[in-house]
Chain A
Amino acid sequence: MDPSGRRSVTDFAIQGRGVIVAAAGSRAKVLDRLRLGDAAFRQLTRAAAVGVLILLSAVIISLAKGSIPALQTFGFGFLFSERWNPVTENFGALPAIYGTVITSFIAMLIAVPIGLMIAFFLTELCPQWLRRPIGTAIELLAGIPSIIYGIWGLFVFAPFLQQTLQPFLINTLGNVPGIGSAFAGPPYGIGMLTAGLILAIMVLPFITSISRDVFEAVPAVLKEAAYGIGCTKWEVTRNVVLPYTRVGVIGGIMLGLGRALGETMAVTFIIGNAHRISASILAPGTTISATIANEFTEAVGDLYTSALIALGLILFVITFIVLAIARYLLLRIERRIG
């Protein structure tokens, strides 16, 4: 209560909390305490926000620090060397980088057209009542942990490919001059093609859901105008929706690519972990993440550990750039669509 006998509103609020019962004399004190608490809370939230930035810099700094021994020993040659010999402590990142790029490339080659076609189906063709269930089902693919893809890929998918797709590819495309070497060799089941296919399934939901979201955000007037002059559904999507949402779609694809590049467990199961560069996509290979997952706990010696951390740094830098581009593009389309 203040001296005039009226209870002030602030006092009510505080009493409502049941924390402090404001006596007449302590009002100033209470207000001071509130002011202090307010400032403290603000600074606390601010510190947490800054903490996110610190987290990112800490990741980069610690990886950079950990990879110093390897980078000092091998210099820039680390990036271009094909050797990977733990016994003689001679390490190069090229086979792992090559495997990462090739598997992700295969994944995007398959996932992008399928993802876009599903988005086309969901936005233009699908009956309204089926849209949510199908969209949710596709998104559930993203929820399945990557180790599940790994175990399924190893025990179900790889043997299946070994008996069907791979012999078929070897017998047909394997004999075509020029690209034949990409499909040469025995059908191992596991290998870069299998890893690429599994990655395609894993990034499909990201590409699908972002494409669907941006497709849906296209102003109805644009589509109606196109339908009005007699365009077919495909023509509307191909010539109106896709050009309008191009930036967003590319953003979604880059996001999927970022996922594919960094994916670890599924690939570790089925890539075959061979440190070599093979022309054939049927051959076993390795990726950056699979190498780290497989060898880190067994790495003896500082140089070996450091080489693996340097691989991690390379992976982080690559995915960071890809994801940053993805976010930038998605921000741009968000601003335009509003």
Chain B
Amino acid sequence: MAEQISESRYKRRRRRNATATILALAATMVGLGWLVLILGALLWQGFSGLSVAVFTEMTPPPGAAGGLLNPIVGSLMLTVLAVAIGTPIGILAGTYMAEYGRHDVLTSVVRFINDILLSAPSIVVGLFIYEVMVAPMGHFSGLAGGVALAVLVIPVVVRTTEDMLTLVPNALREAATSIGLPRSLTITRICYRAARAGMLTGVLLAVARISGETAPLLFTSLNNQFWSTNLNAPIASLPVVIFQFALSPYKDWQSLAWTGALIITMAVLALSISARALVATGKQS
């Protein structure tokens, strides 16, 4: 009798384990399936519109043929600007946290706040830059868009710089100090070099993060139907053009939006995969 009960309990436990296993498998399939579905739709819809004209012609008026040259160039300019502004600040702040104030209060507060900024809604950043730049200047501008993206670059770079500098063995610093190298030179000549791959990863991740960002650009750099490289004027960018074209009723525009989406996604995935590869090689050496 007692044996029977324990056997049925054993069976129940086995059954429960089997159910959980199947559910876990199903969940994983769902997760991977979504990725496949999204990438599949993107390739399917985006490739049909992909041609040389996409990279050589301007955005068309509705009903005409055209390309995405001006938004592509605009996006590149905004990204370069954002990285140029955000990276030095991020690296310096990360340097303080890892090198000078590893255990002080300022560092833990900055780390906490930085982690929050890392996931803060990007549309709020757009509003912030609108308030402090667009409204006082009186017009939308590429500059404001670049600064808005820079605000998103900073937390990513701070985080990776701090992490990577913390990994640099202290023996290196001690060796540098023992031959009389000043602290600042130890950091810039020794630690930065040792952590170079990791810090570059941070910049790549930051670029991946901002290249698809739309929300902070909507009311900073706005959009521009025409060719413009003037950073003091509204400038076209790929995400904003996709947003505008996808929601339009015109088939040509929608098809261009898909193609733009394909370009951005491929760029972002290539960036994040190379960032991963960089980390992997860094760990081996």
**Chain A residues engaging chain B, CB cutoff 8 angstroms:** 8-10, 12-13, 17, 34-35, 37-38, 40-42, 44-53, 55-56, 58-59, 62-63, 65-66, 113-115, 117-118, 120-122, 125-126, 134, 136-138, 140-141, 143-152, 154-156, 201, 204, 208, 232-235, 237-238, 255, 258-259, 261-265, 268-269, 289, 292-293, 296-297, 308-309, 312, 315-316, 319-320, 323-324, 327, 331
Contact = CB atoms under 8 A, between A and B. Distances in A.
Given A148-B265, A234-B17, A52 B158 contact: yes
Contact of A140 (B35, B155, B242): B35
B20 A234 contact: yes
A148 B34 CA distance: 13
Nearest to B115: A327
B131 A315 contact: no
Contacts of B272: 140, 143
A161 B106 CA distance: 50
Contacts of B242: 147, 151
25 contacts: A46-B106, A48-B96, A49-B96, A50-B110, A51-B93, A52-B114, A52-B155, A62-B132, A63-B131, A115-B27, A117-B20, A118-B31, A121-B24, A121-B27, A125-B25, A143-B208, A143-B272, A145-B264, A145-B268, A147-B212, A147-B239, A232-B14, A293-B123, A293-B215, A297-B218
B116 A312 contact: no
A211 to B, nearest CB: 12
6 nearest A-B pairs in the assembled complex, by CB-CB distance = A145-B212, A262-B121, A48-B92, A117-B27, A45-B96, A41-B184
B265 A125 contact: no
A84 B247 CA distance: 23
A19 to B, nearest CB: 10
A151 B240 CA distance: 12
B116 A327 contact: yes
A40 B90 CA distance: 17
Given A38-B184, A140-B35, A140-B269, A63 B124 contact: yes
B261 A255 contact: no
A297 B218 CA distance: 8
A8 B35 CA distance: 61
B116 A324 contact: yes
B45 interface: yes
B167 interface: no
Contacts of B214: 145-147, 264-265
A156 B41 contact: yes
Contacts of B109: 53
B28 interface: yes
B154 A136 contact: no
Contact of B117 (A52, A114, A144): A52
A140 B212 CA distance: 14
A207 to B, nearest CB: 10
Contact of B219 (A208, A238, A297): A297
A120 B37 CA distance: 23
A63 B215 contact: no
A297 B188 CA distance: 44
A208 B31 CA distance: 10
Contact of B123 (A17, A255, A292): A292
Contact of A232 (B17, B100, B121): B17
Contact of A52 (B93, B100, B101, B189): B93
Contact of A55 (B24, B154, B183): B154
Contact of B96 (A12, A46, A122, A143): A46
B265 A145 contact: yes
B128 A63 contact: yes
Contacts of B181: 10, 13
A47 B179 CA distance: 28
Contact of B93 (A13, A49, A258, A308): A49
Interface string B223-241: 0000000000000000100
Contacts of A258: 119
B166 interface: no
A269 B179 contact: no
Given A63-B124, A145-B239, A147-B239, 11 more contacts: A34-B185, A37-B184, A38-B183, A41-B187, A63-B128, A66-B127, A125-B24, A148-B264, A151-B257, A155-B254, A309-B127
A38 B27 contact: no
Contacts of B239: 145, 147, 265
B38 interface: yes
A121 B25 contact: yes
Contacts of B185: 13, 17, 34
A312 B128 CA distance: 9
B52 interface: no
B223 to A, nearest CB: 9
Contacts of A264: 121-123, 214-215
A42 B92 CA distance: 9
Contacts of A125: 21, 24-25
Contacts of B187: 41
Interface in B34-64: 34-35, 37-38, 41-42, 45
Nearest to A122: B28
